[in-house]
Amino acid sequence: MKLIKMLLFVLLITGCSYSVYTTGYPHLKTVLIFPVENQTSNYNLRDMVFNSLVNAYESDGRLKLVGLSPDCQIECTIMDYSNKIATYSGSSVDEYEVRILFNVVFTDLKKNQVLWENNSLMLSERYSLSDENSQFASEEEAQEEITNKLFDTIMKNTLEEW
């Protein structure tokens, strides 16, 4: 009886090691994220995007952030930024839409090749200052969601293999 319990315990533990993450590039273990370039007049975006990417990679754990001898690197430039009225009724604004245009390059330094590049990656999100049912209530919240989408887009186009 003890043997059966022990086998079940071992099976349970080894069965829990399954992960939904996969990588098409198992030789990539470390990453360097270059400081984000910002070609807009919205100066706080540079640090916000950079910090968001750093935090996302640290939380994700598939690639370790390093400053020296990385296996791969990410270069990101903010090309354009807009925050415009998306919908309105009468004389009041219902929703705004934040749009950020990125140029992103993900390079495999081990094999010296660009794995993914998008020089016109447009990400957008809407928010409302007046609608309590809106997912985002401020420009900053919409910006944060866009940076989350940026990380997801980079990962889906580089490390994730489905």
Residues 6+ away with beta carbon under 8 Å from 42: 81
- The neighbour count for residue 65, using CB atoms within 10 Å, is 14
Question: In total, how many domains does the chain have?
Answer: 1
- Report the predicted TM-score, pTM, of the whole model to 2 decimal places: 0.82
List the CATH number of the domain containing 133.
3.30.160.150
In a domain, 80, yes or no: yes
Residue 7 in any domain: the answer is no
The pLDDT of residue 90 is 85
What's residue 1's pLDDT? 53
Q: Given this model, what pLDDT does residue 122 score?
A: 98
Q: Is residue 16 part of a domain?
A: no
Residue 49 is predicted with a pLDDT of 98
Is there a domain that residue 11 lies in?
Answer: no
| Token pair in block for residue 158 | 């580089």
pLDDT tens-place values along the chain, 162 residues long? 554 444 444 444 444 433 444 457 899 999 999 999 999 999 999 999 999 999 999 999 999 999 999 999 999 999 999 999 999 888 888 999 999 999 999 999 999 999 999 999 999 999 999 888 889 999 999 999 999 999 999 999 999 864
Q: Tell me which DSSP letter residue 18 carries.
A: -
Residue 162 lies in a domain: no
Domain-located, residue 143: yes
Range of the domain at 138: 23-157
End-to-end C-alpha distance for the chain, whole angstroms: 41
- The answer as to whether 2 is a domain residue is no
Instruction: Give domain status of residue 1, yes or no.
Output: no
